[in-house]
Chains A and B, each alone.
Chain A
């Protein structure tokens, strides 16, 4: 049933997000196609490329906000609004209902992230010569090894993978934290002004979770000691091999624990404390 819930969740949210990303892909396709394949350097083509680039930049900048708004609205309406009468009488476990919301919102946040990265990559490669100039481009290229700090390729790959996973887990946890806040705002005590309480609880939940997470991450050393030929799990910074890089995993683990805790709490509030209007 989770697969069916996911399908319909994507259909519901895809009406807006799908259109948005279709526009993004068309623009990206046009810019890359006209610049690299067609090598169209006419004034009209250049203007269209610049305009396309501007649209991409605007979409990338607004994407996270738009995704948040769509996900929050969808969650509120489909569970705690009139549509909740249908959602909660489906023959599915309520944990699957919640899981489908979290998975779909995480996917859309990852898409927003990919859109931002894609836009930056296109800007970098297309604009570098025409607008930044060859010298600036060469300077950026020469700075890369310094930015990498002489780390081995294994370290760079491991760090990138861990960072991406941490980033995506963070998206999921943020979604759960906001869903927890919405659920709390829909309990009888706060239901009359659920919008206001959703904002208050969201800010409070995220602030508390972030502060605790930082506190724990500062206190506990837990991560990977990475050299060119070995990756080792360490629980103390002193265990890190000489010359190895340390990749901190505490934040990731704390995020996972917080995510599980908020998921459980949201499920409890959703099941036991919320009466649909």
Chain B
């Protein structure tokens, strides 16, 4: 595996005349937890969708472990979108079998155990599950893969404080060893303690790309820097 797991060069994406990403370049080293930070609508999701292969009509270059987004990169990237991507008629058991069928690195036994731990009924239809249960299930499906890169889009959005801690805890305990996590969020306070590096996106441009250690060595927190960059009054 290359030392730089994810390489993004001059990434541009527009929807009609609206430019959402304007020449973004960065590297994500292997084995790090990287925060992709920025307010809503700054281009984080478009960037992630381009990396995971959901958007193909972008300009620039994306390399995941040396490969452009495609079959090979998708096999090593575990992606958790903001949305519920499972069919409503499915049950957790169906969903686990589905993932096991397509991903060689999916640990089915672990998923079944985690579902039990999280108190999910394996036979309950997803459409009858609460939003929290659906989120837990998707988290299981993603974290039970022995992936090289986990891309988590706003995994903490729209949930209460206790659930946020639970989700973060699950991510940290279950990601595979030496894997990289790219975690997109606008809730910095909750994740600050776990991040190795931060990328801040503002108006489609990358304005901060640095190690958390460097920020804290200046006596600041990531949240302080975030407020500074985005001019939040606090």
Contact = CB atoms under 8 A, between A and B. Distances in A.
B83 A91 contact: no
A89 B52 contact: yes
A85 B75 contact: no
B71 A77 contact: no
Nearest to A189: B16
Given A12-B87, A15-B89, A82-B85, A90 B54 contact: no
B178 interface: no
B102 A85 contact: no
Interface residues of A, number: 26
A78 B87 contact: yes
Interface residues of B, number: 27
A86 B53 CA distance: 11
Contacts of B39: none
Interface in B13-36: 15-16
Interface in A83-116: 83-86, 88-93
A192 interface: no
B60 to A, nearest CB: 15
B79 interface: yes
B56 A77 contact: no
Interface string A1-40: 1001001100110010000000000000000000000000
Nearest to A82: B83
A276 interface: yes
Nearest to A270: B56
A70 to B, nearest CB: 12
Contacts of A188: 15-16
Given A85-B54, A276-B54, A91 B71 contact: yes
A275 interface: yes
A8 B74 contact: no
Contacts of B165: none
Contacts of B94: 11
Contacts of B87: 12, 77-78, 83
B57 interface: yes
A272 interface: yes
Interface in B56-94: 56-57, 71-72, 74-75, 77, 79, 81, 83-87, 89, 94
Nearest to B84: A82
Nearest to A11: B94
B55 interface: yes
A271 interface: yes
Contacts of A275: 15, 49, 54-55, 57
A58 B222 CA distance: 66
B72 A83 contact: no
B79 A89 contact: yes
A128 interface: no
Given A273-B57, A275-B15, A92 B83 contact: no
Contacts of B81: 85
Contact of A83 (B54, B77, B79, B85): B85
A78 B13 CA distance: 24
Given A83-B86, A83-B87, A90 B102 contact: yes
B163 to A, nearest CB: 21
B56 A272 contact: yes
B230 interface: no
A114 to B, nearest CB: 26
Interface string B88-119: 01000010001001110000000000000000
Nearest to B73: A91
Nearest to A276: B54
Contacts of A88: 53-54
Contacts of B83: 82, 85
A90 to B, nearest CB: 5
Contacts of B77: 89
Nearest to A77: B87
Contacts of B56: 271-272
A244 B49 CA distance: 61
Contact of B57 (A1, A11, A91, A272): A272
5 contacts: A85-B54, A86-B85, A90-B74, A275-B15, A276-B49
Given A83-B86, A188-B16, A276-B49, 10 more contacts: A1-B102, A7-B101, A12-B87, A85-B54, A85-B81, A86-B86, A89-B52, A91-B102, A188-B15, A275-B57
What are the 7 tightest A-B residue pairs by CB atom distance, in nearest-first order?
A85-B85, A91-B75, A86-B85, A91-B74, A85-B81, A82-B83, A4-B101
